[in-house]
Amino acid sequence: MKLITAIIKPFKLDDLRQTVAHIGVQGLTVTEVLGLGRQLGHVERYRGAAHRVDLQPKTRVELAVEDTIVDEVVEAITNVARTGRSGDGKVFVAKLAAAVRIRTGETGAEAV
Amino acid sequence: MIRSGIRGETVLRGALALLPMLAPALGHAQDAEPVLDTGNTAWMLTSTVLVLFMTLPGLALFYAGMVRSKNVLSVLMQCFAVTALITVLWMLYGYSLAFDTTGMVDGEINFNSFIGGLKKSFLSGIGVDSLTGTIPESVFATFQLTFAIITPALIVGAFAERMRFSAMLIFLGLWFTFVYTAMTHMVWSGDGALMWDWGVLDFAGGTVVHINAGVAGLVAALVLGKRKGYPATPMPPHNLALTVIGASMLWVGWFGFNAGSAVSAGGSAGMAMLVTQIATAAAALAWMFSEWVSHGKPSVLGIASGAVTGLVAVTPASGTVGPPGALVIGFVAGVLCFLASTRLKRKFGYDDSLDVFGVHAIGGIVGAVLTGMFAFPSLGGVWDPGETTMGAQVWIQIKSVLFTVLFTGVGSFVLLKLVDLLVGLRVSAEDETLGLDLALHDERGYNL
């Protein structure tokens, strides 16, 4: 099993959910985060006091998936979340040691 | 010294025997004893409510939105506490110090030219039937109380986010006692009062309220010092929606502040209302366009601030200028206050957190001085200058501004230093970082 973490632009979330649902991913976790990278921030100004805001709002999506569909999911996320402009985000894949469905107690591949 | 306007249109506050007041609805001759006028009274009851509304929650929200979220409650707390504290002190001795006329002699400067006696302490002598001119004295006293409340509340903005609550209560209590009541007395208590006798035109409180609070705010900002991290650390307003709501309440409530200062329901109040609206709109646009030109985009904080500067500047002028004067005063105040709050502050490096000096002191000074010009009928004013020339009146206005700046500057400094010795003015660095809501009140503004 793998834990896929995708940091994407917030407005891409709905597209991502639809895309991964087609592949058979049934669950995911969404967090609102701030991120910075190569994308430049913007300037805010209040009564003449200007300051740079480098941390931009992003959406973090975490999905636990079986090894068989990992590559497919990563490719799908990457394609749907891309706009071609800087700030599109990143996808990380980490090994997932265990998973448990709380309601039934199922473990392993049955739980993701 | 000419004080009243043509046909009694202009009415200035004063003690019962000294008000040169006509009741337009009754059309009485000037030498008759004033009787209760229900129209005037109804309007003054309403005005009192409007001016209290300016503080709670108008000013409270205006300021609260501009601070960081960790300090939102501290600002609201300060406004609420000041309202309660000043009310009690007003009752105990404040009204008396401000408006008692014992010992005052027209044209003579004595001790009572600067401050009133204690004859009206505990509001003694005020009964259901007591009158101040054509309105109940109870209403007059409460109306004036709402001014006494908002003036120290304004200062809160200058030392926001770093002042100890106990120190704030003691300082503002003392400041009200020694600075505010004296200013009110000197400008408004009637013949024999210092600036009243000079002939200053200050209809609703350009000197008494705005320059007074604005300069005190600057002094407080300097004595307390800058907030930790200022100006390098960004400290954007946490909720400008609250600020705009507050500014809107100030705009609406200010009709009670200015038109209510006519102490009558008639042409004077009507003109005060009209010029207030014009000046505010002109200032809002002036700040907005200044910012647009200067920074490339108009902002909502800017237009709201601009409106407030117009309200401030027209305050001393509202009883004597006409629409043309209002337009000019609003426009000039909008531009100058914009420059003061953005450029001047940064140039001199002081941390007047919410621009109390930039808005209230500068706006008040602009308004007070321009009143000396635009009160004259030749410039569209509705005042009867009698023998006074424009140059002479402008000088009276400037003199009063200078006196106010000096009086409140020195008074505020002394009181701040005293309170610093007694309890210490500023919170610790840890508390400032944690936020005053948690550090001073054990509360969070938002439990989302």
- Does any CB of chain A come closer than 8 Å to the CB of residue B302? yes
For A66-101, b/e burial (b = at least 16 CB within 10 A) is beebbeebbebbeebbeeeeebbbebeeeebeebee
Rounded to an integer, what distance in angstroms lies between the CA atom of residue A53 and that of residue B143? 46
Contacts of B153 (CB under 8 A, 6+ apart): B55, B59, B60, B78, B79, B82, B83
Q: How many domains does chain B have?
A: 1
pLDDT of residue B1: 38
Kindly give, in sequence order, each residue whose CB lies less than 8 Å from that of residue B398, ignoring residues fewer than 6 positions away. B369, B372
> Do B407 and B43 contact (CB within 8 A), yes or no?
no
pTM here?
Answer: 0.88
Q: List, in sequence order, the alpha helices (H) in B90-239.
A: 95-99, 137-155, 165-175, 181-188, 194-198, 212-224
Residue B20, preceding peptide bond in cis (omega within 30° of 0): no
Residue in chain B closest to A47 (alpha carbons) equals B342
At residue B159 the predicted structure's pLDDT band, cuts being 50, 70 and 90, is: very high
Q: What is the rounded distance in angstroms from the CA atom of residue B377 to the CA atom of residue B443?
A: 55
DSSP A60-100: EEEEEE-GGGHHHHHHHHHHHH--SSTT-EEEEEEE----B
What's the rounded mean pLDDT across residues B202-208? 97
Work out the number of other CB atoms within 10 angstroms of the CB of residue A34: 10
**Tens digit of each residue's pLDDT (9 = 90 or more) over A15-71:** 999 999 999 888 999 999 999 988 888 889 998 888 888 889 999 999 999 999 999
User: What is the domain-level CATH number for residue B194?
Assistant: 1.10.3430.10
Nearest to A47 among B234, B297, B305 (CB): B305
Output the CA torsion sign for A100, A103, A106, A109: negative
3-state secondary structure of B128: coil
Q: What is the ipTM of this complex?
A: 0.75
Query: Is B236–A44 a contact, with Cβ atoms under 8 angstroms apart?
Result: yes
Assess whether pLDDT exceeds 60 at residue B198.
Answer: yes
Are B295 and A51 in contact (CB < 8 Å)?
A: no
| A and B: number of Cβ contacts within 8 A | 30
State both tokens at B18. Answer: 């000294």
Mean of the per-residue pLDDT values for chain B?
93
User: Which residue range(s) make up the domain with B92?
Assistant: 38-104+114-441
Query: Which pLDDT belongs to residue B17?
Result: 44
- The pLDDT assigned to A110 comes to 86
Q: Please report where in the chains the tokens 């020694």 appear, as a residue.
A: B178
Find how far residue B123's CA is from the centre of its chain. Answer: 23
Q: Which residue has better confidence, B214 or B232?
A: B214
Shortest CA gap A72–chain B (Å): 38
CB B263 within 8 A of CB B40: yes
Cα atoms found within 13 Å of the Cα of residue A3, Cβ hemisphere only: 11
Number of domains in chain A: 1
Q: Is the confidence at residue B202, as pLDDT, over 90? A: yes
Q: Which domain holds residue A69?
A: 2-111
For tokens 């009637």, name the residue. Answer: B190
Query: Please, what sign has the CA dihedral across residues B343, B344, B345, B347?
Result: positive
**Confidence (pLDDT) at B264:** 97
Compare CB distances from A47 to B234, B297, B341 and report the shortest one's residue. B341
**pLDDT > 70? residue B196:** yes
Which distant-in-sequence residues (6+ apart) come within 8 Å of A61 by Cβ? A5, A6, A8, A13, A16, A28, A29, A30, A77
| Chain B residues within an 8 Å CB radius of A34 | none
Query: Are the C-beta atoms of residues B47 and B13 closer than 8 Å to each other?
Result: no
Residues of B in contact with A50 (CB under 8 A): 295
Nearest to A46 among B301, B343, B346 (CB): B301
Residue B28 has pLDDT above 80, yes or no: no
Q: Which residues of B28-40 are buried (b: 16+ CB within 10 A; e: fewer)?
A: beeeeebeebebb
- For the ranges A9-13, A84-88, B147-151, B395-399, the lowest mean pLDDT is seen at A84-88
Output A97 or B4, whichever has higher pLDDT: A97
Nearest to B155 by CA among B209, B94, B87: B209
Q: For residue B145, what pLDDT is reported?
A: 98
Q: Looking at the predicted structure, is the pLDDT value of residue B146 above 80?
A: yes
Q: What is the mean pLDDT of residues B214-227?
A: 98
Q: Which of the four pLDDT bands, split at 50, 70 and 90, describes residue B14?
A: very low
DSSP for residue B163: B
Q: Hey, are the CB atoms on A46 and B236 less than 8 Å from each other?
A: yes
Residue A22: which CATH number?
3.30.70.120
Is B67 inside any structural domain? yes
Which single residue is written with the structure tokens 């907030």? B227
Q: Which of A22, A16, A2, A26 is nearest to A60 (CA)?
A: A16
Under the banding of pLDDT at 50, 70 and 90, the label for residue B6 is very low
- Residue indicated by tokens 């006696």: B117
Question: How far does B27 lie from chain A, in Å, by closest CA?
Answer: 50
- pLDDT range class, residue B30, cuts 50, 70, 90: low
Q: Between B18 and B251, whose confidence is greater?
A: B251
Whether the CB of B231 is below 8 Å from some CB of chain A: the reply is: yes
- Residues of chain A found within 8 Å of residue B299, distances taken between Cβ atoms: 45-46
**Residue-level pLDDT at A26:** 83
Are B342 and A47 in contact (CB < 8 Å)?
yes
10 Å CB burial of residue B414 (0-12, 13-18, 19+) is middle
The answer to whether the CB of A99 falls within 8 A of the CB of A1 is yes
Q: Across the interface, do A53 and B231 touch by the CB < 8 Å criterion? A: no
Cross-chain residue pair A49–B346, CB shorter than 8 Å: yes
Summarize the confidence of residues B251-267 as an average pLDDT: 98
A53 contacts in chain B (CB < 8 Å): 234
pLDDT value, residue B31: 58
Interatomic CA distance for residues B435 and B69, integer angstroms: 8
Q: What is the pLDDT of residues B313-360, one digit of tens each?
A: 999 999 999 999 999 999 999 999 999 999 999 899 999 999 999 999
The answer to whether B83 touches B54, Cβ cutoff 8 Å, is no
Confidence of residue B33 (pLDDT cuts 50, 70, 90): confident
Chain A residues whose C-beta is within 8 A of a chain B C-beta are 44-51, 53
Cβ proximity of B194 and B320 under 8 Å: no
Give the model's pLDDT for residue B103. Answer: 95
Question: Does residue B430 belong to any structural domain of this protein?
Answer: yes
Of A58-62, A85-89, B205-209, B214-218, the poorest mean pLDDT is in A85-89
Give the model's pLDDT for residue B206.
96
